[in-house]
Homo-oligomer: A and B are copies of this chain.
Amino acid sequence: MTSNDLATLAQQLRVDSVRAAAAAESGHPTSSMSAADLMAVLMARHLHYDFDRPDHPGNDRFILSKGHASPLLYAAYKAAGALTDDELLTFRKEGSRLQGHPTPRALPWVETATGSLGQGLPVGVGMALSGKRLERIPYRVWVLCGDSELAEGSVWEAAEHAGYEHLDNLTVVVDVNRLGQRGPTRHEWNLKAYADRFRAFDWHVVETDGHDTDAIDRAFQEAASTAGQPTVVLARTLKGKGVASIENREGLHGKPLPDAESAIEELGGVRDVRVEVRKPAAARTLHAERAGHLELPRHEIGEDVATRDAYGQALAALGTARGDVVALDGEVGDSTRTEYFAKEHPDRYFECHIAEQQLVASAVGMAARGWVPYASTFAAFLTRAHDFVRMAAISGAGINLVGSHAGVAIGEDGPSQMGLEDLAMFRAVHGSTVLYPCDAHQTGRLIAQMAELDGVRYLRTSRGASPVIYGPGEEFPIGGSKVLRSSDADRLTLVAAGVTVHEALSAAELLAGEGIAVRVIDLYSVKPVDRDTLREAATRTGCLVTVEDHREEGGLGDAVLDAFTDGGPVPRLVRLAVRTMPGSASPEEQLRAAGIDAQSIVAAARLLVEEAVVR
């Protein structure tokens, strides 16, 4: 394509963006128009992509971080022959693949869901790490960002990570159109402000006029030929470029053009230029070899093992059995115990430092490239990445997240380090699986099964040691539970998970000594829950007492309700959970203070029985 052809293609992308938004009566045409020349040059000259084979391992990866500019993306897909004009005009309509913000659940060419700003680059870093360190395929990751989103800290977490890792297979293009949603950005067209920042984070920086296709071409060439550093192309652009009456005007974000018809005319009318996107070189997928048999660590019944230790050991074993498993950690691998994996599989271990958003984003990027990532930090600090987890679910990303140091049971460190809201956070994620093992063998089995599940999978581990209660051959199906104690005389059921399983077992023993029989269920699968077993217990014992080292809202207690919301009978329920703000204290003191230790369970059960609340 000549420079003229490129300019024509860019105008077509603008026209189609305007048309799509006009047909939808919503959307972001002005944000699309500023980046049309960038997109045209990328598609015609630099991207290597086979639209017939989105799974081609050699494909470049393109991420539209400014996901609201989706009309531009769809217009580009149309120009590449991947979409028809008819489909383009279904933009934002019910049932259309062309959603307001792009997602890979709907379209095979979309690498990751965007629409929450500041996430495209972090996920791109994950893909670039995969290309460089795991796949070793010379594809390039292109990320198109808006300028507003550079205010997000996640962008600088990612910039730091990419600069430090010398990701020269990563190019970020920033569409500096000066205007955010409600008005000017902090730095408007001061490209130097952005250049200084990226340079400080060890990036190569190229500044360009974002409407000069020759200059853009040179900038992209420079990016692709820069070794040892990622490159950012800072492109000065006009929001609404191409239509004089709306160019660089405030108050037009996220709205169809006031007069689409005359705008289309001004842009040169409807065209049907086709762009030949270059195909990638042949490449083979290097991962996904499964070495074979999984040999999980074995322990003696009664041996004291922390589930975080069991996790680290199981993950290392899983890494031996499966070549597609990778591990990531937020600079606490000695606490989460991913250090065991790091030692055995250093080539598949990624240190993400104290940067939890990038930790999860890297996992999302690697999952998109076919890896099975396990990302770990303290359960409490996964809240830092909540928005990334939410978006991972929208992407349909298969990621494993493991949070250690759950609950008040960590003891002296105090509430800032205690995961007390994690179950609530992960239960509410669409399509998630939430697991909370109480012993070493259970942890190992669940960790292995997680690799085979869809969506976001979360497992919670504990800091302190607890006795092994299951044999090494025991199965723990997802959605299952274990009835650890039952009799026909049970007067209520204790439902526990993790550390509280052991407290519940002790409580049951103490209660038995008082002549009160109670059932004990280990509800290791918090989502999905084991409806049948819970219903059976409800029928037989009439009352369920949940005991959890978590806030009373959204955790185990609420999860039990998942078994009883079809309009059928609901048993009596009591939730023992952490209702106060803990301070520092020993693990035993913490459990007692929270009212979730064996004695507190006994007291609650006794009260329920004596007051004849239950039978």
Docked complex Cα distance between A116 and B158 (Å): 19
How near does chain B come to A67, taking the closest CB pair, in angstroms?
7
Specify which chain B residues have a CB less than 8 angstroms from the CB of A91 in the assembled complex: 584
A398-438 residues with Cβ-Cβ distance < 8 A to B are 411-417, 420-421, 424-425, 427-431
Q: Does A473 contact B (CB under 8 A)?
A: no
**B152, B153, B197: which contacts A152 (Cβ < 8 A)?**
B153
Q: Which residues of B contact A581 (CB under 8 A)?
A: 105, 393-394, 396, 430-431
A117: min CB distance to chain B, Å:
5
Bound-state CA distance A518–B354 (Å) is 53
Q: A334-B182, A386-B383, A574-B566 are in contact. Are A355 and B153 (CB under 8 A)?
A: yes
Q: Which of A129-173 contact B (CB under 8 A)?
A: 148-149, 151-158, 160, 164
Give every chain B residue within 8 A of A559 (Cβ-Cβ). Answer: 553
- The answer, among B357, B552, B584, for a CB contact under 8 Å with A92, is B584
Bound-complex Cα distance A105 to B93 (A): 51
CB-based contact A115/B424 at 8 Å: no
Could you say which of A96-104, A479-487, A509-517 contacts chain B? A96-104
Least CB distance from A547 to B in Å reads 12
Interface residues of A in 360-393 (CB under 8 A from B): 380-381, 383-384, 386-387, 390-391, 393
| Contact A99–B584 (Cβ < 8 Å) | yes
- Encoded as 1 (CB less than 8 Å from any B CB) or 0, chain A from 310 to 349 comes to 0000000000000000000001111100010000000000
In the bound complex, do residue A387 and residue B383 qualify as a contact, i.e. CB atoms below 8 Å apart? Answer: yes
What residue in chain B is nearest A614 (Cβ atoms)? B567
Residue of B nearest to A147 (CB): B354
Contact indicator A353/B151 (Cβ below 8 Å): yes
Docked-complex contact A339 and B567, CB < 8 angstroms: no
- Pick the residue among B96, B149, B156, B181 that contacts A335 (CB under 8 A): B181
Would you give the shortest CB distance from A541 to chain B, in whole angstroms? 12
Does A287 sit at the interface, judged by CB under 8 A? no
Chain B residues within 8 Å of A383, by CB: 386-387, 390
Q: How far is the CB of A557 from chain B (nearest CB, A)?
A: 7
Min CB–CB distance A151 → chain B (angstroms): 4
- Any B CB within 8 A of the CB of A543: yes
Q: What total of chain A residues lie within 8 Å of the partner, measured CB to CB?
A: 119
Q: Confirm or deny: A282 has a beta carbon within 8 angstroms of a beta carbon on chain B.
A: no
Q: Is the CB of B416 within 8 A of A180?
A: no
**CA A224 to CA B44, docked complex, whole Å:** 54
Q: Say how far A43's CB is from chain B's closest CB, in angstroms.
A: 24
* Inter-subunit contact A553/B428 (CB<8 Å): yes
Contact string against B for A residues 541-585, beta-carbon threshold 8 Å, 1 for contact and 0 otherwise: 001000000011111011101101111111111110000110111
State whether the Cβ of A206 lies closer than 8 Å to any Cβ in chain B.
Answer: no
Task: Decide if A113 is an interface residue (CB 8 Å cutoff).
Answer: yes
- Given contact pairs A114-B416, A421-B425, a sample of 9 additional A-B residue pairs in the complex whose CB atoms are under 8 Å apart: A95-B585, A96-B583, A100-B413, A101-B416, A153-B158, A182-B335, A383-B386, A568-B613, A570-B572
A interface residues, Cβ below 8 angstroms from B: 24, 26-27, 67, 91-96, 98-101, 103, 105-106, 113-118, 148-149, 151-158, 160, 164, 180-182, 185-186, 196-197, 199-201, 331-335, 339, 353-358, 380-381, 383-384, 386-387, 390-391, 393-394, 396, 411-417, 420-421, 424-425, 427-431, 527, 543, 551-555, 557-559, 561-562, 564-575, 580-581, 583-586, 589, 593, 608, 613-614
14 CB contacts below 8 A, A to B, read A26-B413, A91-B584, A93-B585, A98-B584, A100-B416, A101-B414, A181-B331, A200-B200, A383-B386, A386-B421, A393-B581, A553-B558, A557-B561, A570-B572
